[in-house]
Amino acid sequence: MQINHTLKTQNLSLIRRLLFGIIFLPSLSSAWQPGTYPAPPQRMSSSGFSVNRADRNDVVAFWHAVYQASEGYENRVGWSGNFSGDNGTTSTAFRDDVERRLNYFRAMCGVSGDVGVNRNNPVVIDPNDRFVPAASTLKSAASQNAALMIARNYNPSNGNNPALSHDPPRNVEGWSSSAWNAAAKGSFAFGLYGPGAITEYMIERISSSAVTSAWNTDVGHRRWNLFPDATNFATGDQPGRGVNVPPTNVLYVIQSPSEISENPGPDFVAYPAAGFFPVGINTPFWSLSAKGADFSNATVRMTDAAGNPVPIIAVRRNNAYGDPAIIWEVGGNAAARFVLADTRFDVFVSGIQGKVQVSDYNYSVTLINPNLIMDDQSIVGDESISASQGGAYRFTPPVGAEAVRVVAAKRESKKLRFSAESASTVIDETAPNYSLRVKSREFCRLCKIERQTIVSSHIS
């Protein structure tokens, strides 16, 4: 339903143009309700999210209200430890930032956006584990121990780090059975921490030809984060200390039998997800996973909005992390991290076998710039008004916008003079054989422009 809003103006002289900004807040279909945001210092909730990816404005609102709420986490980390062996803890606000970022990605991909992080759950112990911590050890404590263990073993002179392993040896500094447990059952990021690490786990920005962990080339970190059955995670973080001690995150991802969700997830989980998708979290490594699926003989192809084939660089199939998946690497516009116009791609996966309902699965992804609004924002009204009578202007706010900021501006002509080149305080740093001034001609449809520019100079 569209609502026409009328703006009445009074006592404004020679107003020729009205400018307005849109404040997007989530729609009523979301778990977070418009108009009920907590007042500072309280912050956006960290779980219970859902989003309608078929509604562009809802995706935009979700991005700004939830993803952006975890930005600035560096100022909230509150790490109480040190690099001599005190693992320390992080602040509740920071842990909420991590939980919020993880639930943002899960909700965007259609799985439960209501998982917990650092909820005092004990570590997972398997019969074949080489080392066993006390059964009462919390996932959060084990993850924090592992994060500091990794940081303490980094050698900045050669870049080596023997602790950077899912099976760290006992002789590394800061080793413990709990740190080993978290490293074996978690993802870790070296050089990143907190919500920033969560985002990188999702993007998996590693070339398929690079010699690196299979977790990257098979997007294992992403698949564990999006595992539909998961309900409980834990994060361990240390913010680092300059280039010699990079920051570290360890995210505990393995679930105990009691933590497995009884609610069935979607049949397929794609990344980027079908529908409207913020381009800033796009990736060269697209993936599709499904419980019980067999992708060993599956093929994938992509086209752009015009039906042109999108080149696929490499395809991998893997069953090791979370649910079975097919992963393919793309380049060009399909791997873009910035767009001005909405950019659609169609995906066709065929030959799927196993315990799935369909053998072919097709969907479309539209990469969007969440800072751009595509709704018509034109204002209708008089070209000019008088100071005594005022005027009325009408516009239709975009669907999902809860507030609109309107600015009245007065148009005036101004003469701009660019004469810095002639100033006495110009310091010419160009080469002796290179002119300080460069004269060029530029043509547009209706005019010729002659321009003088100053090159490579410092103005004091």
* pLDDT one-digit tens code per residue, 309-333: 999 999 999 999 999 999 999 999 9
Q: What pLDDT score does 27 carry? A: 42
Residues in the chain: 460
Segment 200-204 long-range contacts (CB within 8 Å, at least 24 positions apart): 201/225, 201/251, 202/105, 202/271, 202/281, 202/283, 203/281, 203/282, 203/283, 203/285, 204/283, 204/285
Residue 188 has pLDDT above 90, yes or no: yes
Strand 380-381 and strand 391-395: the pairing is antiparallel
Secondary structure percentages of the chain, helix, strand, coil, to 5: 20, 30, 50
Higher pLDDT: 390 or 75? It is: 75
Higher pLDDT: 404 or 296? It is: 296
Q: What pLDDT score does 206 carry? A: 61
Residues 321 and 186 sit within 8 Å (Cβ to Cβ): no
Least confident of 211-215, 285-289, 420-424: 211-215
Mean pLDDT over residues 432-448, rounded?
Answer: 57
Cα separation, 338 vs 278, in Å, equals 9
- Where in the chain are all domains bearing CATH 2.60.40.1220? 269-368
Of the candidates 318, 68, 115, the one whose C-alpha atom is nearest the C-alpha of residue 215 is 318
Residue 443 has pLDDT above 90, yes or no: no
Class of domain 269-368: mainly beta
Residue 29 has pLDDT above 50, yes or no: no
Residue 359 has pLDDT above 70, yes or no: yes
pLDDT band for position 41 (cuts 50, 70, 90): low
pLDDT band for position 386 (cuts 50, 70, 90): confident
pLDDT band for position 203 (cuts 50, 70, 90): very high
Residues 6+ apart with CB under 8 A from 357: 267
Mean pLDDT over residues 130-152, rounded?
Answer: 98
Q: What pLDDT score does 15 carry? A: 36
Mean pLDDT over residues 263-292, rounded?
Answer: 97
Least confident of 157-161, 280-284, 370-374, 422-426: 422-426
Q: What pLDDT score does 433 carry? A: 75
Least confident of 288-302, 343-357, 407-421, 445-459: 445-459
pTM: 0.81
Residues 28 and 17 sit within 8 Å (Cβ to Cβ): no
Cα separation, 152 vs 171, in Å, equals 12
pLDDT band for position 406 (cuts 50, 70, 90): confident
Least confident of 115-124, 129-138, 181-190, 447-456: 447-456
Q: What pLDDT score does 33 carry? A: 55
- How many other CB atoms are found less than 10 A from the CB of residue 55? 18
Three-state DSSP class for 350?
Answer: strand
Residue 200 amino acid letter: E
> Which stretch, 32-36, 255-259, 449-453, has highest mean pLDDT?
255-259
Instruction: Give the helix/strand (H/E) hosting 15.
Output: strand 15-24
Read off the pLDDT of residues 42-101 as tens digits, 9 standing for 90 and up: 688 999 999 999 999 999 999 999 999 999 999 999 999 999 999 999 999 999 999 999
Cα separation, 189 vs 238, in Å, equals 11
Q: What pLDDT score does 321 carry? A: 93
In whole angstroms, how large is the CA radius of gyration of the chain?
A: 27
Residue 416 has pLDDT above 60, yes or no: yes
Residues 325 and 342 sit within 8 Å (Cβ to Cβ): no
Residues 348 and 326 sit within 8 Å (Cβ to Cβ): no
Higher pLDDT: 124 or 434? It is: 124
CA dihedral (335, 336, 341, 342) in degrees, to 10, reads 40
Residues 6+ apart with CB under 8 A from 39: none
**Measured in whole angstroms, how far is the alpha carbon of residue 293 from the centre of its chain?**
28
Mean pLDDT over residues 16-40, rounded?
Answer: 47
Cα separation, 400 vs 389, in Å, equals 33
Q: What pLDDT score does 123 carry? A: 99
Cα separation, 403 vs 24, in Å, equals 7
Residues 6+ apart with CB under 8 A from 412: none
Burial 333-346, CB ≥16 within 10 A → b, else e: ebbeeebeeebebe
- Where in the chain are all domains bearing CATH 3.40.33? 71-259
Q: What pLDDT score does 23 carry? A: 47
Q: What pLDDT score does 421 carry? A: 61
Q: Which residue has the tokens 């969907």?
A: 363
Mean pLDDT over residues 104-125, rounded?
Answer: 98
Least confident of 9-23, 222-236, 281-295: 9-23
Of the candidates 337, 247, 248, 322, the one whose C-alpha atom is nearest the C-alpha of residue 285 is 337
Residues 6+ apart with CB under 8 A from 41: none
Cα separation, 264 vs 110, in Å, equals 12
Q: Which residue has the tokens 């507030």?
A: 403
Residues 117 and 93 sit within 8 Å (Cβ to Cβ): no
Q: Percent of the chain having pLDDT more than 70?
A: 81
CATH of 71-259, one of 3.40.33, 3.30.2450, 3.30.1330, 1.10.10: 3.40.33
Mean pLDDT over residues 129-156, rounded?
Answer: 97
Cα separation, 311 vs 304, in Å, equals 10
Q: What pLDDT score does 451 carry? A: 43
Q: What pLDDT score does 384 carry? A: 76
pLDDT band for position 436 (cuts 50, 70, 90): low
Higher pLDDT: 14 or 205? It is: 205
